[in-house]
Amino acid sequence: MIAEAIARLRDKRIHVVGLSGTEGAAVAQFLLEHGVTSITAHDLQTAEGFPAAFRRYHGGWMDPAAQEAAIRRLLGGPIQLRFRDRYLEDIARAEVIYAGQAWFRHPENAPVARARDAGTPLSSMTELFFETVPCPILGVTGTNGKFTVVQLAAEMLAESGRRTFVSGNDRTHVPILYRLRDVARDAILVLEISNRQLVGLRYSPRIAVITNLAPHHLDDHGSFEAYVRVKSGILAHQGTSDRAILNADDPPTWGLAGMARGAVVPFSRLREVDEGACIVAGRITVRLGGREDRLCDVSELAVPGTHMVENALAAALAARCAGASPEAVASALRAFRGLPYRMRFVAEVSGVRFYEDSLATNPAAAAAAIRALTSARWPARSRSVPCAPCC
């Protein structure tokens, strides 16, 4: 797949927008590694400010020595560089443009939109994943819970013995473009896909999960309806043999079932389903192909809250659809202790339990956390806190 992608690009005039960022740098280095040199790269930094910006965007996962080597490669190689004073110069001459996921949020990038509207193909790092990764992709999107589902599903698959790769919409995971040499056809990539990464994406994963949909990123899309349309893009290019895993309890998500071309497999916390994932006698249960696996009791989940039950159902169903064993799925569910910044238990001091949930950056996520901490698990400790002045 890499050879085919490179063959299509080798003789093209390629422009990369946002060279210091995670996505732009990954694309540029991938192209250079495979002999593509007709690259013009743009960045709003000055030439002097570029190294510091690169380090800032890559510090979460790239060690300092690798950062310095990458900076030298990008600045000292055959790439034509267009920094702040010449930003987007000659973009109209591009034959292919690669831009970071938030490019459309910046007024300075209006020439990119004009080039796209004039017919220049606009691509992305995420699109390049689909064009070069040789193994199946399990993709997850949604307003909340998507990276928890990604991590849980990946742990389930890895515990089953499957070579598993994870790439997330954050700065702590290595973009898979840097690891393609390690990815075999029998591996699996579990990929978190954000709303911005779905804009214009021309591919869909073999297994697509939508966790839930609530108002978020409305400044990106203008309305909740437009946001839902963008999120539905994860299903748009699936084939008839692919699977769409949807939250049957969430009306905006379940409303997308009709557009799926492959099998729709629901998960539900509120009712039993004949095919999919649900709660049976208090246990996380997956029913697929006439087989039922009751995996673990809801009370065994270490992270509190109904939202975690839904995440567990989605991850268990996705992992089983991808071939994980019931035993591995159950083991991963029991062992999971949460992720940093996502409703993670920190400590207990003088009988008070502290949880850290700083990534609850939208009302639905914050409400889920509050519900979790006022649940029946700690009825004697529940307290009413007036929130109206803060809302």
Instruction: Supply the mean pLDDT for the chain.
Output: 92
Assess whether pLDDT exceeds 80 at residue 82: yes
pLDDT number for residue 385: 46
Which is higher by pLDDT, 373 or 170? Answer: 170
Residue 372, pLDDT score: 56
| SS3 of residue 386 by DSSP | coil
What fold, for 127-335? UDP-N-acetylmuramoyl-L-alanine:D-glutamate ligase (3.40.1190)
Residue 188 has, within 13 A of its CA and on its CB side, a CA count of 26
Q: Tell me how long the chain is.
A: 391
| DSSP 8-state symbol, 195 | H
CATH fold, domain 2-123, is Rossmann fold (3.40.50)
Q: What percent of the chain has pLDDT over 70?
A: 89
pLDDT band for position 195 (cuts 50, 70, 90): very high
Amino acid 353: pLDDT? 72
129-154 residue pLDDT tens: 999 999 999 999 999 999 999 999 99
First to last CA, the chain: 50
Query: In which band, very low, low, confident or very high, does the pLDDT at 350 lie, cut at 50, 70 and 90?
Result: confident
243-269: pLDDT as tens digits: 999 999 999 999 999 999 999 999 999
Helix, strand, coil tally for the chain in percent (to 5)? 40, 20, 40
Question: What residue spans define the domains of the chain?
Answer: 2-123, 127-335, 344-381
**At residue 237, does pLDDT exceed 50?**
yes
Tell me, what's the pLDDT at 390? 42
pLDDT higher than 70, residue 99: yes
- Going by pLDDT thresholds of 50, 70 and 90, the confidence category of residue 389 is very low
- Asked whether the predicted pLDDT for residue 362 surpasses 90, the reply is no
| Residue 50 to residues 39, 74, 81, 225, 243, Cα–Cα distance (Å) | 17, 10, 11, 38, 42
Per-residue confidence (pLDDT) for residue 369, from 0 to 100: 57
Question: How do residues 18-72 score in pLDDT, each as one tens digit?
Answer: 999 999 999 999 999 999 999 999 999 999 999 999 999 999 899 999 999 999 9
Q: Calculate mean pLDDT across residues 185-203.
A: 97
Of 170-179, 199-208, 247-256, the one with minimum mean pLDDT is 170-179
Tell me: pLDDT of 128 over 90.
Answer: yes
The string of DSSP letters for 139-194 reads EEE-SSSHHHHHHHHHHHHHHTT--EEEE-SSSSS--GGGGGGG--TT-EEEEE--
Cα separation, 34 vs 184, whole angstroms: 18
Beta strand 344-349 pairing with 352-356: antiparallel
What pLDDT is recorded for position 378? 44
Cα angle 368, 373, 375; round to 5: 90
Distance CA 51, CA 45 (A): 9
At residue 352, the pLDDT reads: 79
